[in-house]
Amino acid sequence: MSSNNGSKKDVLLEVKGLKMYFPITKGIIIQKKIADVKAVDGISFNIKHGETLGLVGESGCGKSTTGRAILQLYRPTAGSVRFEGKELTEMKGETLRRQRREMQMIFQDPYASLNPRLTVGNIVGEPLEVHKLASGKERQERVQELLKLVGLNPYFVNRYPHEFSGGQRQRIGIARSLAVNPKFIVADEPISALDVSIQAQIVNLLEDLQANLGLTYLFIAHDLSMVRHISDRIAVMYLGKLVELTDHITLYEDPLHPYTQALLSAVPIPDPYIEEKRQRIVLEGDVPSPTNPPSGCNFRTRCPRVMDICAEKDPEWKNMGTPENEHWVACHLY
């Protein structure tokens, strides 16, 4: 797969042929590998400095696994992940730990991702201790500064996570990820566990932080309208593979891949007249198992425009746009 999605000089993160397979084993004493779960199966993309790349797709398609494999929380089965030109997959031990200062993660579930036995001050301050950035009074001042930055009262430092609402907990998670001044943040469905009224507040906070601190995001979600709002470019994923990648305006106005077209046809439109006339694309059948994906194109078993070649050959990842306005798609129709 080619991945020339942006000029080299402004690229922060470059992912090439990334694969993340989880082995399935049989037996109790002697374990024998019988198959692989192909969670991420050879994807390539770039993220430029200061941009937000949205990653969307159905539940179980490999979005969160992609984010964790990029940060080396899962060690990839194959492929290359280069951050500012440095190969992360070859880093180990202390070198990788130091590199983690540059890359952080906001987790999906604000209830599960915070240690209930630690105070907010200890949760947010822990990265400062781990990376030896601040201690004592300096650490306390930095924690209060971070809480203020995410819209929380700086005097909440001695409270515990159970004393906060879901939205406030997610703000604590965001403060923790900002503690070490990262350049790149993987936001793994940061709003999906929150009330709708709170979701917009968190997205606005992330946008403000990006503008003020020059952050770069990989924003993982399945809410297409929210992704459109926050992302500069959007990548669509299906069963471990990318099927389309372009800027947010082009994706919504001129989707090329049948799967993207089906996803967008399910997004409600507030105008009742347009909504009534619009053609819904209903996909037949279920998503195949990542243990045994279909031959050729992964989407062919549900595609309304399937052809004979789709079963024989994996579609090539190619740019159907221009060098300035790239539109990558993997489909035999093009």
Burial 288-303 (b: 16+ CB within 10 A, else e): eebeebeebbbbbbbb
**What is the rounded average pLDDT for all residues in the chain?**
87
Give mean pLDDT, residues 310-333: 89
With a cut of 50, say whether residue 4 has pLDDT above it.
no
Distances (CA, A) of 274 to 270, 278, 280: 8, 6, 12
**Residue by residue, what is the 3-state secondary structure of the chain?**
CCCCCCCHHHEEEEEEEEEEEEEEEECCCCCEEEEEEEEEEEEEEEEECCCEEEEECCCCCCHHHHHHHHCCCCCCCEEEEEECCEEHHHCCHHHHHHHHHHEEEECCCCCCCCCCCCCHHHHHHHHHHHCCCCCHHHHHHHHHHHHHHCCCCHHHHHCCHHHCCHHHHHHHHHHHHHCCCCCEEEEECCCCCCCHHHHHHHHHHHHHHHHHHCCEEEEEECCHHHHHHHCCEEEEEECCEEEEEEEHHHHHHCCCCHHHHHHHHCCCCCCHHHHHHCCCCCCCCCCCCCCCCCCCCCCCCCCCCCCCHHHHCCCCEEECCCCCCCEEEECCCC
- Asked if residue 329 has pLDDT above 90, the reply is yes
Q: What is the pLDDT of residue 234?
A: 94
Determine the pLDDT at residue 8. 54
Per-residue pLDDT of 102-161, as tens digits, reads 999 999 888 888 899 999 999 998 888 888 887 788 888 999 999 999 999 998 899 999
Q: In which band, very low, low, confident or very high, does the pLDDT at 29 lie, cut at 50, 70 and 90? A: confident
Total residue count of the chain as it appears in this document? 334
pLDDT higher than threshold 70 for residue 9: no
Res 24: pLDDT: 87
Q: Of 52-56, 251-255, 262-266, 307-311, give the lowest mean pLDDT range.
A: 262-266
Residue type at 53 in one-letter notation: L
pLDDT, mean of residues 57-85: 91
Mean per-residue pLDDT for 169-182? 92
Per-residue pLDDT of 291-320, as tens digits, reads: 888 888 988 888 888 888 888 889 999 899
Mean pLDDT of 77-103: 91
For residue 183, pLDDT over 90 is answered with: yes
| pLDDT tens per residue across span 275-286 | 667 777 777 777
Question: What is the reported pTM?
Answer: 0.89
10 Cβ contact partners less than 8 Å away, ≥ 6 residues apart? 48, 49
Q: What is the largest CA-CA distance in the chain?
A: 68
Read off the pLDDT band of 5 (50, 70, 90): very low
Tell me the domains of the chain and their CATH numbers: 8-330 (3.40.50.300)
In which residue are the tokens 């500012």 written? 84
Distance from C-alpha of 258 to C-alpha of 17, rounded to nearest angstrom: 23
- 191 has pLDDT over 90: no
Mean predicted confidence (pLDDT) in 16-25: 91
Residue 179 clears pLDDT 70, i.e. is over it? yes
CA proximity to 226, closest of 209, 212, 207, 239: 207
Using 50, 70 and 90 to split pLDDT, how confident is the model at 58? confident
Percentage of residues of the chain with pLDDT beyond 70: 96
User: Average pLDDT of 167-171?
Assistant: 92
The predicted pLDDT at position 219 comes to 95
Give the Cα-Cα-Cα angle 230, 239, 234 (nearest 5 degrees). 20
